[in-house]
Structure 1
Amino acid sequence: MPVKTNLWRVSEKPEELAESRLDTEKLLEKMIVQEPRLLSDEWMLIGQQEHTYNKQPLDLLAIAPDASLVLIELKRDRTPRDVVAQALDYASWVENLTPDKIAAIYRKFTSGGNLAEGFQKKFSRPLDEDELNQSHQIIIVAAELDASTERIVKYLNDRSLAINVLFFQVFAHGDEKIISRTWLLDPIETQSASSPTKSSNSEPWNGEFYCSFGDSNSRSWNEARHYGFICGGGGAWYSRTLQLLSPGNRVWVKVPGMGFVGVGQVLSQAVPASEFTINTSDGEKPAMEVLTEGNYHRDFIDDEEKCEYFVAIEWLETKDLSEAIQELGMFGNQNTICKPTTAAWRTTVNRLKSIFTNFEK
């Protein structure tokens, strides 16, 4: 069913706002460039109207915290089906962008900016060239979408082609105009569907989950190991993939820059820090009263977007950070949780199973 939003002015007798429109879709592009949070505060814009095949312009290009790319195409005057086909064509161009080309696109967009410096400032971590453009998402911006095109987008996303639609609707409120946005699919679906761009390396998912237990200032592996949990936060991009986990799933945990340190079985769905409890010698207590070795984004405990989220884990086997396993060719990713579909993940898990011998209960 096509997505539609209705707005009412709050009063004793609610008044529905009339739907309006922007003078031009070019204005929406300008608004997004001026305020990228209209799209997402989890991405950094790096390019605009960049020429692709046959000098066809891609509206906007962004980068995510894991150094994957996000291509954004506005519907403009094309039919929904046409814009989907155009976006897929642009994706085949984005797939082959090299690090030096991406850096050049950013320099042009920012009038001389340095991509590595911009990435560090936005995401508070260094840009790893080996991670750059290993996957991408397609985002179509539209005011409406017909049912047929909606089915096509869902079909592609279900088959690990990361594509989503962001709807913008405009409403009149006196002399002002108000804009709303709605995603066609939950962004977690698109983020988790994002897969390596080199299709020759793709294969069916092996059923084993990967966890990046990162940012040593925010969380402590020692406490996670002792109390039985994994976590992520600081923004929805980092925490929402924890929703992929269900009780009974098996997850292999890696500390970035160190190596793999544990394998465990999921005991619970993800919950915010304010709701997570820990069993102690004095009974069950709120996690934030017990955990002292990390910040766990306490400053955002009342912000459901930025707060830390926790998943309870029954550890099957763990290692100290000094014993972390890292070998050449082992899989790595900045997503807190992912379902890798690369040969590297299969070989990594097979190798880990020979080291973590208690991986089966």
Structure 2
Amino acid sequence: MPIEIQVWRIEEGERLAKLQGGTLELESKLEDWLAKDISLASPDWMVIGRQVPTAYGHRIDLLAVDSNGDTVVLELKKEMTPRDAVAQVLDYGAWVSRLSEEDLDHIYRDYTQKVRSEGSEESLGKAFCQHFKVENPPETWNANHHLVIVAPELDPPTERIVTYLSEVHGVTINAVFFRVLKDNESQFLTRAWFIEPDEMEEAGGERKLKGPWNGEVYVNFGHDDVQNWEDARRYGFVSAYGGKRYRKAMERLEPGQRIWVKVPGKGFVGVGEVVARAVPVEEFHVTLDGEEQRLLDLELKGERTTEPIPDPDEALYLAGVRWIRTFELGKAVAEEGMFGNQNVVSFPKDPRWNRTVERLKQIFGVK
């Protein structure tokens, strides 16, 4: 059904006063705002191009990448009908899906030279690491692409089309609604998503189906001063922290799953079986010499593991693992052509994952 946003101001005596729609020319300003601060739409995006020319004679309003290195096409509805906007963004998706890492780097350099008078020689990979605060850029860029229509609203037929493309055909298409509300001399910008972004995020890595899943789970372990790989080996866990998407990724791990763990920038370091669902670090316990103990009461190499993080979404979450075999970081397994992505937890259907697992079975000595 159509999305409608209404806001009321609470006045004295608990009376409610409905805020009215403002007169701001929203669509003419939104592109500027989003280009300057894409977190208005999503904190997980980074703009790499604006008015990007395609091979078909059109221009993409905004092109971004997410923290997985996947592309995000943003099309502002402007004068188009909602259904025309859907057709336009699908056309852009067909072009974007073929872009290589070199293509994206060229688009980014061209964009930064336009927005910075002094120009920029900074590569996309370096800018990506700085923006997302990671040590290494994605091993694979543009494995998936996401299509986003930016509009005040969609009509019911267009909502049905977007839902059909997403749910039936697995197209990662969504719409984000911005509206202006007025309260006396003040104006407020509101935002609402047509499809919950977390639902799209969870499914995004598996949208591009390439074959059956082999039943093996891929896990990234971000070794740092909060989560130390030697602690994970010794006490039996994998972990992630830093935001809601990381917590939800950890919650996808279930007892009985076999996981292959990779440390970004190093290689594969362990294989094991999940034995306990993810919980905040304060609630994680291990059994040593037949006695259950709280992890935070034990000797840890992670210098900041015990530091409290008040926000439950930002907190460190751990899932218990019975290790089958692990390697220290200096002996991590990294071979050319092995599978890798930026997701904390994923269930890859890429043929490269199948080949990688078969090779890892040989190296780790497991069946």
Shorter-chain TM band? 0.7 to 0.9
**How many residues matched?**
355
Specify the alignment match of 1:14 in structure 2.
Answer: 16
Counterparts in 2 of 1:304-343, with a 5 A limit? 304-343=312-351
Maintained 8 Å contact 2:225/2:305:
no
DSSP-derived class of the 1:334 partner = coil
Q: Quote the RMSD (CA, aligned, Å).
A: 2.9
Tell me the residue number matched to 1:140. 149
Is the partner of 1:5 in helix, strand or coil? Answer: coil
Question: How far has the Cα of 1:75 moved from its partner?
Answer: 2.0
Distance 1:295 1:186 in 2: 36
> How does the TM-score come out when normalised to structure 2?
0.84
Is the CA contact 2:68–2:138 (under 8 Å) kept in the aligned structure 1?
no
Of the structure 1 ranges 344-353 and 292-301, higher mean CA displacement relative to structure 2 is found in 292-301
Q: Which residue of 1 aligns with 2:353?
A: 345
1:138 partner letter: L
Match of 2:190 among 158, 169, 180: 180
* 1:165 aligns to 2:172 (yes or no): no
Mapped partners of 1:131, 1:87: distance in 2: 23
Q: Could you list the runs of 5+ residues in structure 2 that have no partner in the other structure?
A: 114-118
Question: Following the alignment from structure 2 to structure 1, what is the Cα–Cα distance between the partners of residues 306 and 48?
Answer: 31
Change (3 A) 1:66 1:129: closer
Q: Deviations over 1:244-268 (max 9, x none)?
A: 3334333221112332222333344
Matched, 1:150 2:159: yes
Q: Per-residue deviation at 1:237?
A: 4.6
Q: Which residue of 2 aligns with 1:31?
A: 33
Mean Cα displacement is larger for which, 294-303 or 58-67?
294-303
TM-score (norm: length of structure 1) = 0.85
Q: Percent identity?
A: 38
Instruction: Judge conservation of contact 1:168–1:179 (CA < 8 Å) in 2.
Output: yes
SS in 2 for 1:76: coil
Q: Which residue, out of 294, 301, 323, partners 1:293?
A: 301
Q: What CA deviation, in whole Å up to 9, does each residue of 1:36-59 have, x standing for no partner?
A: 210122221111111114321111
Q: Deviations for 1:292-315, whole angstroms, at most 9, x for unmatched residues?
A: 322567767112443323223333
Give the gaps of 5 or more residues in structure 1. Answer: none
Alignment partners' CA distance in 2, 1:323 and 1:84: 49
Provide closer, same or farther for how the CA distance between residues 142 and 246 of structure 1 changes in structure 2, counting only shifts above 3 A: farther
Q: Which residue, out of 274, 278, 282, partners 1:266?
A: 274
Correspondence list, 1:74-153, <5 A: 74-111=76-113, 112-113=119-120, 114=122, 115-125=124-134, 128=137, 130-153=139-162
Match of 2:116 in 1: none
How much has 1:89 moved relative to structure 2?
0.9
Distance 2:163 2:324 in 1: 37
Distance in 1 of aligned mates of 2:253 and 2:309: 22
User: CA separation in 2, counterparts of 1:284 and 1:15?
Assistant: 55
Cross-structure match for 1:277: 284
Q: CA deviation at 1:127?
A: 5.6
Residue 48 of structure 2 corresponds to which residue in structure 1? 46
Task: Indicate if the aligned counterparts of 1:233 and 1:296 stay in contact, CA closer than 8 A.
Answer: no
CA distance in 1, matches of 2:128, 2:228: 25
User: Residues of 1 paired with 2:196 and 2:318: CA distance?
Assistant: 20
Shift of 1:128: 4.5
Cα pair distance change 1:273/1:22, threshold 3 Å: farther
Closer/same/farther in 2, CA of residues 215 and 262 from structure 1, 3 Å limit? closer
8 A Cα contact 1:60 1:71, kept in partner: yes
CA distance in 1, matches of 2:196, 2:360: 32
Say which one has the larger Rg: 2
Distance in 1 between residues matched to 2:163 and 2:254, nearest whole Å: 23
SS of residue in 2 equivalent to 1:191: helix
Q: CA deviation at 1:164?
A: 2.3
Q: Indicate conservation of the 8 Å contact 1:162/1:195, yes or no.
A: no
Question: How far is the alpha carbon of 1:189 from its aligned partner?
Answer: 3.0
1:25 counterpart SS class: helix
What secondary structure, in the 3-state scheme, does the structure 2 residue paired with 1:240 have?
helix
- TM-superposed deviation, 1:60: 0.5
